[in-house]
Structure 1
Amino acid sequence: MKILKYKTSYAIVFLFALITVFAGCKKDFLDRQSQGEYDQDNYPYPEGSGPYDQFINGAYAVLRSYNVTVMPFVTVASIRSDDADKGSTPADGGDQIQMDNFSITASNGVANAFWIGHYDMINKCNFVLERVAKDPNLNTPEGLKLGARAEARFLRAYAYFMLVRSYGAVPLVDTVITKTAAEANIPQSAAPLVYQFIESDLIFAAANLPATYDSKFVGRATRGAALGLLAKVYLYQSKWASAMSAANLVMTSGQYDLSTAYSKIFNEEGENSKESIFEVQATATASNPTIYGSQYTSVQGIRGTGQWDLGWGFNVPSTSLESAFEANDPRKARSILYAGGTSLYGEAIPAGLPNPRYNNKVYTNPARRSQIGNRFGWWNNVRLLRYADVVLMYAEAANELGGADNTTKALAALNSVRVRAREGNNTILPAITTTVQADLKEAIRRERRVELAMEHERFFDIVRWGIAADVLQAQGKNFVKGKHELLPIPQIQIDLSKGVLKQNNYY
């Protein structure tokens, strides 16, 4: 496996590249239109949408790209945590080895690819905003303009949120860069200013996005997605009252609930369920098995031979995660797939695979593999924000605010997630009853870990809680406090900026 050592300047990736795709596909839960895709029947834009969709879809297409939600994402957000180990084979993936054991250098290819991918997405969002602002058609309804701006600003906010919590201070770019490299050479803004920018985008998006779309637009950003992400942005800044309020708006919207069984959320038929607030849409057909999909599942699939060659085998559950689950918690089996065990579909998994455990949340239906004629799961959506995540954010914020009423609300939210998890078996996962703030804090943190296992939140959680050094050093990782909370600014970007970009501490 090879990660390219990109030499592209972040200024260069701001150049607009519009991708228009045409493909017909059977419309069912296994075979649907993905974000960033048009077919011959609905181009230039589907009925009920607007003239900016072809540009918005350019941003959605980047969202499912390799650099944004595939290997760099898995490496940055999961392999660095105590939930996961690198996986694959011992010598495979030099950049991943650096991330796993915190020997990260400024020349790490994954860190550079992650940077490039998100700035590419930001530029496409800025292009949408520019296109709306300069639209010469005086007859374009104002509602369509507001909707397009809101969608672009939501996607831009997501990209900046991933950048700021990964690198800290980053350049803030809110216009399309089409001029000289010198004009595109923008210095970093401090993290608080980046968060302020993100909040502004999400507040606008929440005010102007619809609560739902027609089924033909499944997966597009909604008001609930903007509010849910805003709650998380507030949480990362310890703005507890604002986080609780934003999460509560999602919880009282009537659009989401915990009715989807945990065992079903991650199956193909569980995509875009009542649990889903925002997920990257991917699709595949026998004639187009990869082009409209995502390689997210492939890079984590079982690494074996023959029919058990399901992927690259990266990002495998750790023994630390394995031990974090309470006795008989059904979420453990849904999160960890064991070599020598049995799959969700009754298949005997061979022993002696390169790793003893794999991410069971990306395991694919063998019938679907046969239908597509592809083993690598390019049709699987990527879950970026789930309802249970928002409920647990609400619980955390309420507990941090303190007081009897907020403690009651925190317990109710926390226990609602546990009720769903126990799947009707009242002998397991007993209700949390403590009203001691510190104890309840630890219970909520444990619940976030097991509920969101292998879903790319754990590293960022332990960093924002200030416990990353203790947790990761206890696992034998070479984590240095004050350094490894952030990635290095890619050295090639510093060089191309001629020193305008400044390196993070101790790299």
Structure 2
Amino acid sequence: MKTIIKYITAIICVSIVSSCGDEFLTLTPKDQLTDLNFFQTESDAQQALTGVYGQLQPNQTYGVSIDAADIEWAMSGDLYEMDGSAARIEIHTLALPASNTKIRDMYQQTYTGVSRANFTISRVSQMEELDADVKEKILAQAKFLRAIYYYRLVNYFGGVPLVLEELDASSEMEIPRATAEEVWAQIETDLTEAIAVLPETWEGDDFGRATKGAAQGFLAKAYLWQEKWADVVRVSEEIINSGHYGLVENFRDIFKEENEANEEIVFATQFRGGNDGEGSNIVYRTAPRGAPSEFTGSGAWSNFVPQGHWVNAFEKDGSGKIKDERYWDVIIGPGEPHQDMPDFVMPTSVPDGWSKTGYITTKYWQKATIGMSGVNAPVLRYAEILLNYAEALNEVGRSAEAMAQVNLIRQRAELDAKSTALGKDAVLDAIFYERRMEFIWESAGAFSDLNRRGRFIDFIRENRPNFAQLNVDSKPWLQTQPILLPIPREAWERNKALEQNPGYTF
């Protein structure tokens, strides 16, 4: 089906029946479909929903490249960007011009997800012959997806144009920004409505779809941003008490392609290996450039590598050896073997082309990959649910219980438990330390979490060795709370009703 979808930044031709991940989202393309004859059957409605899921896959949305690596972990300074492209350097150095192409692409692709969700909600709602239960579940999934696309936008840009209807060629395109409060309110509405309908689990080919727990998890994250601590506690306890989630005993096993249906993954972007458009290039971005192809497969770029100061932040034993199992499960450094391919050993003197810092993360590089990777991108893990819960518990005066959650994470990492008698500030520091060591190269734990609590500048002052070169005091966009990314210039060129965020120019 081909339909012209007009959204905030452009008039874009979007195929709603695009590809989208593992088998439950795989489609057979159909020719000669139009808006008038497409929404006739359940299959048509499911294919439209597949298009909404499909927009999770791009690197610009929830594919753990631009979101998790370029923005989250490069801005916090714990990942180093090897390729040195101008757009990445701008982000890494916190220059953040409105012309930055990575930020532009993320904004546009996320709005494409919103557009697809609106289209699906509009058209499926009008299908009178569709089974009521099927319709409810499709609409609930589309609302969940619209909510997490808007979550991404308000997280990075603050208030943005809030569009909830299908747009066409006659729609008004000069749409001003809503307030951040209005966007958060809509996210809460969509997620609450989704929670009332979504199942707790999906079986068989439906594995990977949005669940009640995933919607609750994002609702808790939305509450965190708004400092609605009691609501975070309530929703987190509902997730925990559901009994559907837990911490996987071995940290590395969380990410393995053959173990994707594990109890820790609350929601993930689905990929399937091969060359059919359903895969990810995450292995290419991870494996060391120039290493033997028998270990890397058909490509290795080592775009993002862990910084030495992040590695040095791991807790060590009396001999100076890292004792945190998270390091040994997903990182290799000089002279260390790959966890799943022990015949691959990092040289004691690591070539600059492999890694400028001497380290590689192997969360997503598990084997040599011919073609694209089928490793899923984690979006929300149970470990984050627990740390979000801990943060809220600490704010409502239940700090001892908060540290109990933190100690669950530490126990899995084979670290000693910390005292449950710590003061409120020390508990918050402990929570953020675990975020930092737990979520490297995931969408949690770095810039956004630090930013929402006003901790980002203090963090990089303390932890980025190049802090003095960042010239933070001369960059007015870094003086706001929260820090916002610039509204892209190309978005403004198409919608002059947009106002720029403080400190930036178009």
TM-score in same-fold range (> 0.5):
yes
Match of 2:281 in 1: 295
2:503 partner SS: coil
Question: Of 34, 55, 60, which aligns to 1:62?
Answer: 55
1:488 partner SS: coil
Query: Aligned in 2, Cα 1:460/1:495: closer, same or farther, shift over 3 Å?
Result: same
209-218 or 467-476, which moves further after superposition? 467-476
Aligned counterparts of 2:54 and 2:76: Cα–Cα separation in 1: 27
Distance apart, 1:216 and its partner CA:
1.3
- Pairing of 1:152-163 with structure 2 (within 5 A): 152-163=142-153
Question: Of 260, 268, 283, which aligns to 2:272?
Answer: 283
Match of 2:420 in 1: 433
Query: Aligned in 2, Cα 1:160/1:35: closer, same or farther, shift over 3 Å?
Result: farther
Distance apart, 1:237 and its partner CA:
1.1
Aligned counterparts of 1:156 and 1:195: Cα–Cα separation in 2: 12
- Pairing of 1:346-361 with structure 2 (within 5 A): 346=342, 347-350=344-347, 351-354=350-353, 355=355, 356-361=358-363
2:430 is equivalent to residue 443 of structure 1 = yes
Query: Aligned in 2, Cα 1:196/1:14: closer, same or farther, shift over 3 Å?
Result: farther
**1:142-190 residue CA offsets vs partner (Å, 9 max, x unmatched):** 211211111001001110111111111211110111124x612311111
Q: Which amino acid aligns with 1:400?
A: E
Query: Aligned in 2, Cα 1:144/1:82: closer, same or farther, shift over 3 Å?
Result: same
2:353 is equivalent to residue 341 of structure 1 = no
Distance apart, 1:432 and its partner CA:
3.3
2:45 is equivalent to residue 52 of structure 1 = yes
Q: Which amino acid aligns with 2:15?
A: A
Aligned counterparts of 1:208 and 1:491: Cα–Cα separation in 2: 39
- Pairing of 1:113-124 with structure 2 (within 5 A): 113-124=105-116
CA contact (8 A) 1:56 1:128 kept: yes
Aligned counterparts of 2:345 and 2:282: Cα–Cα separation in 1: 24
Distance apart, 1:463 and its partner CA:
0.5
Question: Of 197, 221, 225, which aligns to 2:210?
Answer: 221
**1:258-302 residue CA offsets vs partner (Å, 9 max, x unmatched):** 1442121122223120011000110124xxx35111223433332
Match of 1:501 in 2: 498
Q: Which amino acid aligns with 1:503?
A: Q
Relative to the length of structure 2, the TM-score reads 0.85
- Pairing of 1:265-280 with structure 2 (within 5 A): 265-280=254-269
Query: Aligned in 2, Cα 1:303/1:429: closer, same or farther, shift over 3 Å?
Result: farther
Distance apart, 1:203 and its partner CA:
0.7
1:252 partner SS: helix
Alignment gaps of 5+ in structure 1: 1-7, 23-31, 41-48, 423-427
CA contact (8 A) 2:7 2:167 kept: no
**1:338-366 residue CA offsets vs partner (Å, 9 max, x unmatched):** 25431112022343142222222121223
Distance apart, 1:336 and its partner CA:
2.5
**1:357-411 residue CA offsets vs partner (Å, 9 max, x unmatched):** 2222121223xx3xxx34xx52110000000100111111001110xxx233212
Distance apart, 1:312 and its partner CA:
2.4
Paired-residue identity, %: 28
CA contact (8 A) 1:35 1:281 kept: no
Distance apart, 1:9 and its partner CA:
7.5
Distance apart, 1:105 and its partner CA:
0.9
Distance apart, 1:421 and its partner CA:
1.9
1:80 partner SS: helix
Q: Which amino acid aligns with 2:196?
A: A
Match of 2:365 in 1: 363
CA contact (8 A) 1:488 1:504 kept: yes
**1:38-93 residue CA offsets vs partner (Å, 9 max, x unmatched):** 369xxxxxxxx8652111100111111232134422312222123212223xxx31
1:208 partner SS: coil
Q: How many residues align?
A: 459
CA contact (8 A) 2:24 2:205 kept: no
**1:188-227 residue CA offsets vs partner (Å, 9 max, x unmatched):** 1111111111111111111110001112111100000000
What is the root-mean-square deviation of aligned Cα atoms in Å?
2.4
1:52 partner SS: helix
Aligned counterparts of 1:270 and 1:429: Cα–Cα separation in 2: 28
Q: Which amino acid aligns with 2:136?
A: L
Alignment gaps of 5+ in structure 2: 1-5, 30-41, 317-322
CA contact (8 A) 2:74 2:80 kept: yes
CA contact (8 A) 2:268 2:380 kept: yes
- Pairing of 1:236-275 with structure 2 (within 5 A): 236-275=225-264
Distance apart, 1:445 and its partner CA:
1.4
2:484 is equivalent to residue 486 of structure 1 = yes
66-75 or 200-209, which moves further after superposition? 66-75
Relative to the length of structure 1, the TM-score reads 0.85
